[in-house]
Amino acid sequence: MRFELFTFQTELDAPIDAVSQRHAQRDHLLLRVTHEGVVGFGEVSPQPHRLNGDPSLDEVVAQLTDVLLPSFVAAVSREGDVPHWSRVTRFQGSGAGANFAAAILEMAVLDWQLQRDGEALQALWPSVHPLAIMRTVDVAWRGSLSEDVARLRVKVGAVALNASFIDHLSACQVPVILDYNCAGPSTDEIRGLLRQLDGLVDVVAVEQPFAAGNVVEHALLAKELPVPLSLDEGVRSRRDVEHIAQYGAASMVCLKPARLGGYSVTRAVAARAVELGLRPYVGGFFESPLARAVNRQVAAATVSEPSDVGVVERRGESGLWRTTAFGVGVAPERALEGILRPVPQGSFEV
């Protein structure tokens, strides 16, 4: 069994400005698993630098190459077989990047096992809810929406929005989440923005105004806002979701599979969130079509809220991906080989 880790970079067709970062180019990690003539792929797309509690790309690589892959390879050798994809998290470490590392390996092993068995992801996780798409934009956006977009998530700072953008949002006639990305606005600033949009835009939630882990301030704010509060960066585990429900810190939660540690964890956390009366939805990190295909299916199988699992347009991406009948549904084309960069110490074999 062979594991090969690569990085590659793509450029967003329409850059998006968040509070602390401009999303114009994205670095991706691609893991290729080859065994018995069958190939599987996994992907995560971490930030280039640590941000709002999320690890940097280098930290993810270190956890994968120094901890998780050696442990998993040892298990393959010891057991004489490939551990089931749902067991991957048992081999992960505890440092920064551990959850992202578990997510990419879990996806690659899942894809490999489905390819080996001639099964498709949709059969493993049948769709339970009609898929509703949420699209992420910034305050400079003036584009159009495809018919499948049921909600917009707008990345805002602690400032008033200009009239032309408000007019554009109003004309779109879709519900909106205001995403603060831990910007730390005051309650008055949030209320001021809601008043500015009142009667013009259907604001259905305010997302993550304060720092990840700040349950207390979010709980206090949730009692004062006229719209639901959602947490994103503050959701990294089942325990986080339980604390959010316990303290009344939010009524909605954004579940990002890479941040949570993979798809088995995401499905379990989504089920627990619903049990606790929260409304979960699936988010992403501007991943390539590979990971977004898996995110999309886990959303269809687990949540009813619109989720950030639609197509992210990238320049020059045509011809890099192909649809597959089995596995997770998407695989790299040979054209991708031209932009892949092998990660040093990222190759393992057993």
Which residues lie below 8 Å from residue 228, measured CB to CB, with a gap of 6+?
204, 205, 206, 222, 250, 251, 252, 279
Rounded Cα gap, residues 232 and 256, in angstroms: 8
Dihedral sign for Cα 307, 310, 155, 161, please. negative
For the stretch 257-295, what's the b/e string if a residue is b when 16 or more beta carbons lie within 10 angstroms of its beta carbon?
A: bbbbbbbbbbbebbebbeeeebbbbbbbbbbbbbbbbbb
Which residues lie below 8 Å from residue 266, measured CB to CB, with a gap of 6+?
255, 257, 260, 282, 298, 302
Question: Cβ(39)–Cβ(324) under 8 Å?
Answer: no
The residues pairing with 16 across neighbouring beta strands, listed in sequence order, are: 23
DSSP-H helix ranges across 2-134: 57-63, 69-79, 98-117, 121-124
> pLDDT, tens digit, for every residue of 150-175?
999 999 976 679 999 999 999 999 99
Domains in the chain (CATH in brackets) are 2-119+329-349 (3.30.390.10), 123-315 (3.20.20.120)
> pLDDT, tens digit, for every residue of 198-225?
999 999 999 999 999 999 999 999 999 9
**Given phi > 0 = left and psi -120 to 50 = alpha, else beta, which region is 262?**
left
Question: Cβ(4)–Cβ(27) under 8 Å?
Answer: no
DSSP-H helix ranges across 228-323: 238-247, 257-260, 263-275, 289-302
Query: Residues in the chain, how many?
Result: 350
Provide the residue-wise pLDDT of the chain in tens; the chain has 350 residues.
999 999 999 999 988 988 878 889 999 999 999 999 999 999 999 999 999 999 999 999 999 999 999 999 999 999 999 999 999 999 999 999 999 999 999 999 999 999 999 999 999 999 999 999 999 999 999 999 999 999 999 999 766 799 999 999 999 999 999 999 999 999 999 999 999 999 999 999 999 999 999 999 999 999 999 999 999 999 999 999 999 999 999 999 999 999 999 999 999 999 999 999 999 999 999 999 999 999 999 999 999 999 999 999 999 898 999 999 999 999 999 999 999 999 999 999 98
By the 10 Å C-beta count (0-12 exposed, 13-18 middle, 19+ buried), 250 is classed as buried
Can you tell me whether residue 20 is helix, strand or coil?
coil
233 C-beta neighbours (distance < 10 Å), count: 23
Rounded Cα gap, residues 45 and 185, in angstroms: 28
From residue 291, alpha-carbon distances to 177, 331, 334, 344 in Å are 23, 10, 18, 23
